[in-house]
Amino acid sequence: MDFDLTEEQEAIRKTAREFAEKEIRPVVSEYDQKEEFPWPIVKKLAELGFLGMIIPEKYGGTDAGNVALALTIMEVSRVCASTGVTLSVHNSLLSNPLLKFGTEEQKKKYLPKLASGEWIGAYALTESTAGSDAAALKTTAVKKGDRYVLNGSKVWITNAGVGEVIITFAVTDKEARRGHNITAFIFEKNFKGFNVGTHEKKLGIRAANTVELSYDDLEIPEENLLGEYNEGFKIAMDTLDGGRIGIASQACGILMGCLEESVKYAKERKQFGKPIAAFQPIQWMIAEMAMELDAAKLLTLRAAHLKDLGVRHTIEASMAKLFSSTACNKAANNAVQIFGGYGYTKEYPVERFYRDAKITELYEGTSEIQNIVISRAFLRD
């Protein structure tokens, strides 16, 4: 069993770390406070090839793979979780299903623009009454001539306000059975009938773009149907298997940040005449963070490795996301504890980590949903 990264993966990880330190760290707090999408950072990430990491070279990507993508999201999220999710959604929720389910024409049309970062991508599944129960969508698509006409709305869609291309899901056959009545579509920002709401004000990942979408007779040409008619729900779920590795990586990154900041502060801060690192409760919190970070990274990289091998990874991705997000929230809570009152202020990054951590337990399937996915695999007859 080989736990070592390849030379290429290690080089990519190192580049991502250097980039995050040099380009993101100096401005991360400002973007968070202004709740502004970090365009200059995203453009530079594109120049480094980080927006086309799982896209083959023939479509303009770097084909670096899912392990390299996970490492990159970890390194970026260690400094800025908002940029981490931007990267994750673009690569794993858009490029990935296009690559897997798209026609050759669709791949040629969209992948090069996504790989170069000329276009940012989004994935629009959730609706106000269909969150965890994603099969309960109300958005409809009706065929009219050579196009589909969509009506409905989507909520909390990452990247959609800054993106040019979106994969979405709509009910195409009300009579068909649940889960076999939904079709996936690709559409572009400039298609008629598409409206973007205002940027959501959020607890954390405040620089990540999150918007509501409305489809008022949104016209999508039939060649933009993704995969099979009425089989879009499978595409949605398959895509989330990859997306969950991205969110697990984001959680690992936040956890890395919490551990490093906590270690540094615990050695510097003195109370009762000694550094607080000399006190056992602080040592135990740090030990727990370090151990859980290792376990979270191993689970996450295992899932990414399976994805690179083309092996089904539904359970492994759910385990990685559930474990990493739980550990990340515990670590963020303990990091603020270690910082005491200073941890509650914007003077130190742990305040932001604490706010950013929570989302990892919510999106791309809540922790309760991950538990259902994992336990079902064991309890099924």
Catalytic residues: 364
| Sole binder of ligand FAD in the list 20, 316, 363, 373 (CB under 6 A) | 363
CA dihedral sign of residues 157, 302, 368, 359: negative
> Which one of 156-164, 302-310, 326-334, 344-352 is the stretch in contact with ligand FAD (CB under 6 A)?
156-164
Q: Choose between 117 and 365: whose C-beta lies nearer to ligand FAD.
A: 365
| Sole binder of ligand FAD in the list 74, 81, 89, 328 (CB under 6 A) | 89
Q: Choose between 138 and 264: whose C-beta lies nearer to ligand FAD.
A: 138
Is 375 near ligand FAD (CB under 6 A)? no
Q: What is the rounded distance in angstroms from the CA atom of residue 228 to the CA atom of residue 231? A: 5
Q: Choose between 87 and 301: whose C-beta lies nearer to ligand FAD.
A: 87
Q: Which structure tokens are listed for 130?
A: 């269909």
Spatial CA neighbour of 151 closest among 167, 172, 166: 172
| Sole binder of ligand FAD in the list 202, 234, 355, 358 (CB under 6 A) | 202
Report the Cα–Cα distance between both ends of the chain, in Å, rounded: 32
| Sole binder of ligand FAD in the list 9, 96, 158, 325 (CB under 6 A) | 158
User: Which string of DSSP letters, residue by residue, matches 17-53?
Assistant: HHHIIIIIGGGHHHHHHHT---HHHHHHHHHTTTTST
Spatial CA neighbour of 339 closest among 274, 258, 272: 258
Query: Strands, DSSP E only, in 197-319?
Result: 210-221, 225-226, 270-271, 274-275
Q: Choose between 159 and 262: whose C-beta lies nearer to ligand FAD.
A: 159
Q: How far is the CB of 211 from ligand FAD (least distance, A)?
A: 9
Q: How far is the CB of 362 from ligand FAD (least distance, A)?
A: 6
Spatial CA neighbour of 356 closest among 335, 338, 320, 332: 332
Q: What is the rounded distance in angstroms from the CA atom of residue 77 to the CA atom of residue 331? A: 14
Cβ atoms of residues 316 and 302 within 8 Å? yes
| Amino acid in position 94 | L
By beta carbon distance, the residue nearest ligand FAD is: 131
- By rule CB under 6 A, what string of x and - marks binding of each residue 100-129 to ligand FAD? -----------------------xxxx---
Is 366 near ligand FAD (CB under 6 A)? yes
Q: How far is the CB of 2 from ligand FAD (least distance, A)?
A: 34
Is 131 near ligand FAD (CB under 6 A)? yes
Is 157 near ligand FAD (CB under 6 A)? yes
Spatial CA neighbour of 108 closest among 193, 221, 186: 186
Cβ atoms of residues 191 and 219 within 8 Å? yes
Q: How far is the CB of 361 from ligand FAD (least distance, A)?
A: 9
| Sole binder of ligand FAD in the list 5, 48, 362, 374 (CB under 6 A) | 362
Q: What is the rounded distance in angstroms from the CA atom of residue 206 to the CA atom of residue 210? A: 9
Is 241 near ligand FAD (CB under 6 A)? no
Q: Choose between 87 and 277: whose C-beta lies nearer to ligand FAD.
A: 87
Give SS3 for 131: coil
Q: Choose between 81 and 336: whose C-beta lies nearer to ligand FAD.
A: 81
Quote the Cα angle for 196-200-202, to 5°: 160
> Which one of 2-10, 33-41, 153-161, 185-193 is the stretch in contact with ligand FAD (CB under 6 A)?
153-161
| Sole binder of ligand FAD in the list 210, 326, 329, 334 (CB under 6 A) | 210
CA dihedral sign of residues 51, 321, 250, 129: positive
* Count of residues touching ligand FAD (by CB under 6 A): 20
Q: Choose between 80 and 289: whose C-beta lies nearer to ligand FAD.
A: 80
* Backbone angles phi and psi of 220, in degrees to 5: -120, 120
Q: What is the rounded distance in angstroms from the CA atom of residue 204 to the CA atom of residue 215? A: 27
Residue ranges that bind ligand FAD, judged by CB under 6 A: 89, 123-126, 131-132, 156-158, 202, 210, 359, 362-366, 368-369
